[in-house]
Amino acid sequence: MSEPIYAKLSVRIFTDRKCFGPGVAELLRRVDRLHSLRAAAQSMEMAYSKAWTVIHNAEEGLGFKLLHSSTGGKGGGGAAVTAEGRRMLEAYEAYCEKLRAYGAEKFAQIFDFYGKTEDSAP
């Protein structure tokens, strides 16, 4: 028997350029949990400079801030997802969930022949 096949959908949001996708979403989730862009980047094995660039480019493309950052000091620095960033992330996740469900249904319909041989047909 053949190995099972599957589809993997990936969503990217564009304005005049790519500005939001799986990488930005994962960074925001981790910043939300870790309260630091540096820690979020490190947990993804990404350079802080790359994480900062990814967020900055997304903010420029979208036209609003995704993160609010504070610099170090007595309590240390940190980052938090803005209300707009949270709304964007929640909308992105809801959209992806609906697309995955729809995609799985269509995949099952369109590729229903896979794994069936002429010998096994009734």
Q: How many domains does the chain have?
A: 1
What integer pLDDT is reported at residue 41 of this predicted model?
A: 97
What integer pLDDT is reported at residue 118 of this predicted model?
A: 65
CA-nearest of 106, 118, 121 to 6 is 106
* Predicted structure pTM score: 0.86
6 assigned to some structural domain: no
Tens-place pLDDT, residues 57-80: 999 999 999 999 887 656 667 999
Overall average pLDDT of the 91-111 stretch: 97
1 assigned to some structural domain: no
- The residue range of the domain holding 94 is 13-116
**3 confidence band (pLDDT: 50, 70, 90):** confident
Which residue would you say has higher pLDDT here, 92 or 73? 92
Instruction: Answer left, alpha or beta for residue 76, where phi above 0 means left and psi between -120 and 50 means alpha.
Output: left
3 assigned to some structural domain: no
